[in-house]
Structure 1
Amino acid sequence: MSTGTTWNQFINNAWVKPASGSYLSVENPATGEKLAEVAKGDVKDVDRAVAAAKAAFAAWARKTASERADYLYALNRLVERDKEELAATITAEMGKPLKEARVEVGFAIGLIRFAAENTRRLQGEIIPGEMVDEKILIDRVPHGVIGGIAAWNFPLALTARKIAPAVAAGNTIVIKPHELTPLASLKLAKLVEEAKFPAGVINIVTGDGPDVGVPLVAHKDTKLITMTGSTPAGKKIMAAAAEHLKEVRLELGGKAPFIVMDDADIDQAVEAAVSARFSNSGQVCTCNERTYVHEGVYDAFAAKLRDRIAKLKVGDPTDPATDMGPKVSLAELKKVHEMVEKAVSQGARVELGGKRLEGGVYDKGVFYAPTLLTGVTQDMDIVHNEIFGPVLPLLRVKDFDDALEKANDCRYGLSAYLFTKDLGNILRMTRELEFGEVYVNRGAGEEPQGFHHGYKESGLGGEDGQHGLEAYVQTKTIYLNA
């Protein structure tokens, strides 16, 4: 398992040292403290994990749906039991405020529970044949070994989002957590072990993308790849998967428009805009990335928005009063600041923030000030490139037509927000807004029974709910005659 603060890999229900003998450091982005060392896996570790998953597949797939559900229910109870420890781990390795980490753990619990509840709802079909007494059966069967790659911004939930439906459907899985935030996934592996899953059903290999992610995607025995991460990384995965024509499900970048019409509840919209932008330091693929406000209420909205952002408390993520913690890494902070500087050079104005926070507690971590940009126009780079940080660009629109046109002027299509009381506009949105997930008169936050998916460069396939679960099976057509 782990020795002190050193973690090995979880392969075939054993804690295995990396073939390289090397380890990676995991640091707390709020304090700079070294939290642990984790195995630096490579292609040999991937081969071993995939072999274990392949050997376990036949027996796991033969288990009844109820039997697979029982293992997931057992895991769910253990996650519920250890939810405070898991939340503290997320906060330490990722930097999100503890109150948000608790929400993440709750979401992971919901994802595992949904998968357990729905193992028996992966149903086939019976179709009349053309021959006497013939029946055509459309069965749904598991793929085999699944390769999963998780991002760093929701280290527990994204791992649970891939493991739960994969094994519920009868597959086995090898997961690569992000090298910046592997600890929550490794603690989940401890609970997999305690829940007594059969050896090889769930495996976790830690390490970086080139050494672990690339061979996992390219491996001839992984039949489906599910990945959450950036669009450039997703395109590379899709290309690598093409060699063996394996399925890919990619949840990639987002550039969510947040549309506020002149009939909206302004106070509600302001609160949602702030929450949807600054939660998790803006490091959420569904975040409010660009806010479009009707010119009739723009001034009132902008004033209230400025006041609300100014009240955000940035600091120690373990403090219950903290609203926003650090960025996950210095590299991510620098990327965000460069985007702000570019926006200013193109004519945007910094109303609030626009800099790294320094002095006192901020000197120990990588904190960026909550930032409000005004004077933003549609042609600026910051309106089209994903920020993934605590920066809110505010734009004025003339009417709903203008808002729709600007919102759709985007290569991404994951999530969007709309605040209006006009049913006609809402119905138009369902036809004309080119995003896979839309929040109407509410803030962010998908639910386990929904379907989280994007259009355009936001990915392929989707996660969660019955549609997400069915992605982990394939159809088999049987012409049945006596």
Structure 2
Amino acid sequence: MSEKTKEAIEAYSMYINGEHKGSVTGEVIEVENPSTEQVVYTVPKGGADDAKLALEAAKKATAAWAALPAVERGNYLIRFAELIKENREELARILSTEQGKIYQLALGEVDVAADFINFPAQSARRLEGDIYSSDNPEEHIWIHKVPYGVCVGISAWNFPLALACRKIGPALTAGNVMVVKPPSETPAAVMALGKLAEQAGFPKGVLNFVTGDGSTMGTELVTNKLTKLVTMTGSTKTGQRIYGMCADNLTAVRLELGGKAPFILLEDGDVDKAVAAATVSRHLNNGQVCTCPERFYIHDAVYDEFLEKYTAEVSKLKLGDPFNPDTQIGPKVNAYETEQLAKIVDKAVAQGAKVVCGGKRPEGAGFEKGHWYEATILTDCNNSMDVMRDEVFGVVSPIMRISSFEEALELSNDSDYGLAAFLFTKDMRKIQRAVLELEFGEIYVNRAMGEQRQGFHNGFKLSGTGGEDGKYGLENYLEKKTMYVNFSE
């Protein structure tokens, strides 16, 4: 165990085939509190053998689970969601401790996680197929939708609980079974779901939770022939590797990856509304959100007003203990992420950007330990800078002047990413043009970020493939089987 460990350590087990167990090797992964740098949780360090056990258990459960009426599957999930809500405070405590997110946001993540389970479960009676007329007499064509079977769900460290449940809900509602692997950085809250799954009464093997390194356990989960669909949320680089690994077996893939969301404020946009939306959206979860605005294109006519007001708001944001109700920004998830953020800011300055506020690690009482970085605003930016092109998972706002909507469109689309975008204007003609011309899967018009369950969360370009949420997300967990039914004598 780590020398620096002083806090009480909670140990979590894997949940495979209805049983709580450690890894085959007995090894564990230590999970650090990013505020104190002390180990607070351990989870099993599973490998390929553990992955095989989970996949085999899931495979055995496939036929019986798929044969259940959809509404019965939904009832299991609704009970599961109720248990998540009953354990709201405890799950939020774990999230804040392992990831550094402020406690109020952690409570919100638990609520969203339960909703991600409830929404598809309550849509169980709405699973649809199609019947078409045939070119032949006395014949129908049925498009029947069937589950894939064994699905692997891989969630990211920034919203581990919500992202896991975002996959579990529709996958199981559709009749699939699932093996869930949370990230090694923040696995504890997801692994706590194992006990709740047991209490919900899921049949053995229907829902399994495993932990381990991506290079060993993750590779086995993705490449094993028992796996029929992989759904993953994470970085673009990891998604590209998974996409390639699924090629040999032609395994279905659903990827929600990185983003580089543009924030466009035009001359007729409401500056105060834009400032409020930017402040919330850029700094939520310490800027560790794939749909955060990451590059700001502000029209000349309102640039000075926006910068003055935005700087004033950002400068007031309180950095500190995630459990302090006054805190608005917590620590970065680990030392590596903090170092990467500092390098990005330093390089931007070297390339000509100007630091208006922040731009460094905080000093003084309360910041001796932990992974902290101040909310930062950069001006004099241009689209050739790395800070405007590469994903920046942190509280950094690079701002650039623009002179027209056409320039904003061109600059926004000049990116490898296409997840989310923001537009502030009162001109309905420009909003309609944005619908057609902005190359992003999710566009927020005159509001802060935050998708809803009935929408569809998907990315273009290197931001992913497949999409999640709503009826379209649910359909991503179903294959189509075509039946030509001839009933002539």
Regarding TM over 0.5, the answer is yes
Q: Deviations over 1:293-327 (max 9, x none)?
A: 00000001000011000000000001111000000
Give me the whole-angstrom Cα distance separating, in 1, the residues matched to 2:135 and 2:435: 40
Percent identity of equivalent pairs? 49
SS at match of 1:361: coil
Q: Decide which of 156, 162, 168 is 1:157's aligned counterpart.
A: 162
Give me the whole-angstrom Cα distance separating, in 2, the residues matched to 1:361 and 1:417: 35
- Post-superposition offset of 1:378: 1.3
Give me the whole-angstrom Cα distance separating, in 1, the residues matched to 2:93 and 2:455: 27
Match of 2:279 in 1: 274
Kindly indicate whether residue 109 of structure 2 is the aligned counterpart of residue 104 of structure 1. Answer: yes
Kindly indicate whether residue 90 of structure 2 is the aligned counterpart of residue 90 of structure 1. Answer: no
Within 5 Å, give how 1:312-327 maps onto structure 2: 312-327=317-332
Q: Deviations over 1:54-87 (max 9, x none)?
A: 0000000000011001001101111111111111
Whether the 8 Å CA contact 2:24–2:49 is kept in 1: the answer is yes
Q: Deviations over 1:437-466 (max 9, x none)?
A: 000111011111110000000011101110
Q: Deviations over 1:130-182 (max 9, x none)?
A: 33321111000000000111100001100101111100000000111000111
Match of 1:296 in 2: 301
Kindly indicate whether residue 294 of structure 2 is the aligned counterpart of residue 250 of structure 1. Answer: no
Q: Deviations over 1:354-403 (max 9, x none)?
A: 11123321112101000010111111111000001110001110011111
Give me the whole-angstrom Cα distance separating, in 1, the residues matched to 2:194 and 2:275: 40
With 175-184 and 117-126 compared, the bigger mean Cα shift is at 117-126
Q: Decide which of 264, 268, 272 is 1:263's aligned counterpart.
A: 268
Match of 2:53 in 1: 48
Give me the whole-angstrom Cα distance separating, in 2, the residues matched to 1:20 and 1:13: 20
Kindly indicate whether residue 118 of structure 2 is the aligned counterpart of residue 113 of structure 1. Answer: yes
In the superposition, the TM-score normalised over structure 2's length comes to 0.97
Give me the whole-angstrom Cα distance separating, in 2, the residues matched to 1:446 and 1:131: 45
- Post-superposition offset of 1:4: 6.9
Match of 1:371 in 2: 376
Match of 1:459 in 2: 464
Match of 1:60 in 2: 65
Q: Decide which of 330, 337, 342 is 1:332's aligned counterpart.
A: 337
In the superposition, the TM-score normalised over structure 1's length comes to 0.98
Give me the whole-angstrom Cα distance separating, in 1, the residues matched to 2:9 and 2:176: 33
Paired letter, 2:108? V
Q: Deviations over 1:76-126 (max 9, x none)?
A: 111111111111111111101111111211211211111111112121111
Within 5 Å, give how 1:114-133 maps onto structure 2: 114-133=119-138
With 151-160 and 361-370 compared, the bigger mean Cα shift is at 361-370
Match of 2:354 in 1: 349
Give me the whole-angstrom Cα distance separating, in 2, the residues matched to 1:113 and 1:361: 40
With 207-216 and 38-47 compared, the bigger mean Cα shift is at 207-216
SS at match of 1:296: helix
Kindly indicate whether residue 176 of structure 2 is the aligned counterpart of residue 171 of structure 1. Answer: yes
Paired letter, 2:178? I
Match of 1:30 in 2: 35
SS at match of 1:238: helix
Whether the 8 Å CA contact 2:319–2:328 is kept in 1: the answer is yes
Give me the whole-angstrom Cα distance separating, in 2, the residues matched to 1:99 and 1:17: 32
Match of 1:286 in 2: 291
SS at match of 2:367: helix
SS at match of 2:25: coil
- Post-superposition offset of 1:205: 0.8
Give me the whole-angstrom Cα distance separating, in 2, the residues matched to 1:145 and 1:228: 18
Whether the 8 Å CA contact 2:378–2:396 is kept in 1: the answer is yes
With 97-106 and 406-415 compared, the bigger mean Cα shift is at 97-106
Give me the whole-angstrom Cα distance separating, in 1, the residues matched to 2:192 and 2:22: 16
Count, aligned residues: 480
Match of 1:200 in 2: 205
Residue ranges of structure 2 left out of the alignment (5+ in a row)? 1-7
SS at match of 2:457: coil
Give me the whole-angstrom Cα distance separating, in 1, the residues matched to 2:472 and 2:395: 32
Paired letter, 2:463? S
Whether the 8 Å CA contact 2:9–2:42 is kept in 1: the answer is no
With 51-60 and 31-40 compared, the bigger mean Cα shift is at 31-40
Give me the whole-angstrom Cα distance separating, in 1, the residues matched to 2:200 and 2:41: 24
SS at match of 1:297: helix
Give me the whole-angstrom Cα distance separating, in 1, the residues matched to 2:190 and 2:260: 27
Paired letter, 2:353? A
Kindly indicate whether residue 399 of structure 2 is the aligned counterpart of residue 399 of structure 1. Answer: no
Give me the whole-angstrom Cα distance separating, in 2, the residues matched to 1:188 and 1:398: 51
SS at match of 1:376: coil
Match of 1:72 in 2: 77
Match of 1:189 in 2: 194
Paired letter, 2:194? A
Residue ranges of structure 1 left out of the alignment (5+ in a row)? none
Give me the whole-angstrom Cα distance separating, in 2, the residues matched to 1:52 and 1:290: 45
SS at match of 1:289: strand
C-alpha RMSD over aligned residues: 1.1
- Post-superposition offset of 1:48: 0.1
SS at match of 2:366: helix
Match of 2:4 in 1: none
Match of 1:81 in 2: 86
Paired letter, 2:89? E
Within 5 Å, give how 1:140-155 maps onto structure 2: 140-155=145-160
With 338-347 and 120-129 compared, the bigger mean Cα shift is at 120-129
Q: Decide which of 418, 430, 436 is 1:431's aligned counterpart.
A: 436
Match of 1:305 in 2: 310
SS at match of 1:273: helix
Kindly indicate whether residue 484 of structure 2 is the aligned counterpart of residue 479 of structure 1. Answer: yes
Paired letter, 2:263? F
Give me the whole-angstrom Cα distance separating, in 2, the residues matched to 1:442 and 1:101: 22
